[in-house]
């Protein structure tokens, strides 16, 4: 239990609850956004707009959305978010929320992101041993090479860029020894993870797809040996004793989808932001060229500006926009009293957009001390992303190839 949580529950204040009129306003906001942007409509955008307006009206960064039988706490403050993310997952206290557990559990019931207590500690240690978040990865040189090879094919659209990230994934996760069909299968499976209605309507087909996907993963795992190619799968093979077979296999899907999901989104946004700033683009090109030829020997560690551009893009446009938790018991975190049996939803852009201007300024991440009040889009505390260092490495190599070899720019308008 954190120091903030040890005080009496009476110390904190329960966030204000929405009233019936607020839910009417939410429905009106959704309808208005749908009419205003029928093709680009996003429920998330409508919810954030309503939440901001309601937060201003009730003078509270955090809100409890009263749904009758259930209450959903919408987290809007950095302080409360940090306190929640700092706590190690525990079923009896603070764990993954129902929506997250049911969605991720469809694909992997033993995934790290929905694990608690000792299971979480074992799986967390395993994922960190494979992904090596605290330092440049042991196989960084090989991963750089396979990324550059994947991006050697000309890219002219976001779809082609995503396909290149898929090829990168096959190299990084499997050492290039996996069928290309896995890229399409993991994208289809994660589309089902993110769409509960589609999971219900296509339950039989979804189950068959999942079973076929895991058969392929198990077959690839059975082929791995001590002489395997440098890859995340080979790192997992070295540490296989830490988890049982089925448990280990279920850690792999999240490694895979990050490439064609949030990492692709981050890469596209970074490319667009760099392209929209001629001065920064010129500095980035100079930094990449100074790091050496774009091959397996290129020193990507000598690209702090390129990495800062990725980090800045992630702060302006978080790759993860929401996550869910469940408070099993009443607790006080960061001065906020959370009632027992409360579902919690983080709306990250609520506190990234509210007081940070949307000016692209990567230099702030190159200072001796990073901005102390900034939100970490890769999450923080006990729940920090174990793959952050690796995915930034991949994005740097991909950006270098796109900007220098292909001389691509993206219209950010």
Q: 300 is in which domain, residue-wise?
A: 3-16+60-405
In tens, the pLDDT along 53-64 reads 888 888 888 999
**Is 22 inside any structural domain?**
no
Q: What is the pLDDT of residue 10?
A: 45
Q: Please identify every stretch of the chain with a pLDDT value under 50, giving residue numbers as ranges.
A: 1-10, 353-356
Residue 54 is assigned to a structural domain of this protein: no
Contact 207, 165 (CB under 8 A): no
Instruction: For strands 342-347 and 71-75, give the pairing.
Output: parallel
Domain count, the chain: 1
pLDDT of the residue at 193: 92
What is the rounded distance in angstroms from the CA atom of residue 364 to the CA atom of residue 355?
Answer: 16
pLDDT at 355: 42
Helix 304-316 × helix 278-290 angle, to 10°: 140
* Sign of the alpha-carbon dihedral angle for 152, 154, 158, 160: negative
Considering the domain boundaries, does residue 261 fall inside one?
A: yes
Residue whose tokens read 């991963």: 143
Model confidence pLDDT, tens digit, residues 65-107: 887 777 889 998 888 988 998 999 999 999 999 989 999 999 9
**To which residue do tokens 């707009």 refer?**
49
Residue 73 has phi, psi (to 5 degrees) of: -85, 120
Q: Please indicate, yes or no, if residue 119 is contained in any of the structural domains.
A: yes
Q: Can you say whether residue 308 is alpha, beta or left, with left for phi > 0 and alpha for psi between -120 and 50 degrees?
A: alpha
User: What does the pLDDT read at residue 297?
Assistant: 67
Side-chain-side CA neighbours of residue 101 (13 Å): 14
Domain assignment of residue 320, yes or no = yes
Query: 327 φ, ψ to 5°?
Result: -95, 110
Is 95 among the domain residues?
Answer: yes
CA distance 8 to 10: 5
Task: Return the structure tokens found at 309.
Answer: 């551009």
**Cβ partners under 8 Å of residue 47, min gap 6:** 26, 30, 347
d(CA 343, CA 325) in angstroms, rounded, equals 6
3-class DSSP state of 185: helix
- CATH number where 9 lies: 1.10.630.10
51 in a domain, yes or no?
no
Q: What is the pTM of this model?
A: 0.87
Is 41 contained in some domain? Answer: no
Pairing of the two strands 322-327 and 331-333: unpaired
Contacts of 57 (CB under 8 A, 6+ apart): none
Check residue 322 and give its pLDDT.
Answer: 81
Q: From CA 246, how far away is CA 240, in angstroms rounded?
A: 11
């Amino acid at each position: 239990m954190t120091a903030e949580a040890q005080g009496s529950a009476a110390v904190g204040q329960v966030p204000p609850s929405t009233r019936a009129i607020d839910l009417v306003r939410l429905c009106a906001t959704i309808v208005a956004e749908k009419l205003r942007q029928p093709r680009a409509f996003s429920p998330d955008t409508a919810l954030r707009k309503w939440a901001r307006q309601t937060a201003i009206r009730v003078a509270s960064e955090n809100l409890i959305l009263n749904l009758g039988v259930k209450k959903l706490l919408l987290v809007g403050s950095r302080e409360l978010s940090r306190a929640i993310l700092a706590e190690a997952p525990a079923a009896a206290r603070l764990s993954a929320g129902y929506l997250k557990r049911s969605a991720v559990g469809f694909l992997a019931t033993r995934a790290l992101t929905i694990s608690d207590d000792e299971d979480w500690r074992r799986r967390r240690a395993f994922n960190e041993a494979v992904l090596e978040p605290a330092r440049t990865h042991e196989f960084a040189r090989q991963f750089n090479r396979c990324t550059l090879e994947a991006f050697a094919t000309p890219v002219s659209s976001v779809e082609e860029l995503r396909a290149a990230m898929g090829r990168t994934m096959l190299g990084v996760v499997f050492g290039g020894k996996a069928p290309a069909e896995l890229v399409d299968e993991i994208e289809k499976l994660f589309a089902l993870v993110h769409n509960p209605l589609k999971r219900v309507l296509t339950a039989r087909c979804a189950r068959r797809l999942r079973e076929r996907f895991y058969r392929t993963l198990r077959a690839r795992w059975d082929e791995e040996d001590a002489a395997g190619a440098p890859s995340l799968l080979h790192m997992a093979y070295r540490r296989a004793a830490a988890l049982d077979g089925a448990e280990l296999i279920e850690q792999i899907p999240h490694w895979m989808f990050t490439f064609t999901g949030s990492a692709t989104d981050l890469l596209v946004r970074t490319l667009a932001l760099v392209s929209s700033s001629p001065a920064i683009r010129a500095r980035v090109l100079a930094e990449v060229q100074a790091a050496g030829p774009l091959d397996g020997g290129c020193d990507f560690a000598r690209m702090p500006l390129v990495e800062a551009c990725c980090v800045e893009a992630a702060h302006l446009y978080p790759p993860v926009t929401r996550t869910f938790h469940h408070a099993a018991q009443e607790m006080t975190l960061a001065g906020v009293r959370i009632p027992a049996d409360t579902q919690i939803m983080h709306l990250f852009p609520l506190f990234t957009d509210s007081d940070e201007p949307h000016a692209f300024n990567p230099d702030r991440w190159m200072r001796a001390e990073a901005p102390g009040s900034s939100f970490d889009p890769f999450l923080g505390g006990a729940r920090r992303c174990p793959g952050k260092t690796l995915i930034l490495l991949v994005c740097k190599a991909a950006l270098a190839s796109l900007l220098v070899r292909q001389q691509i720019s993206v219209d950010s308008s």
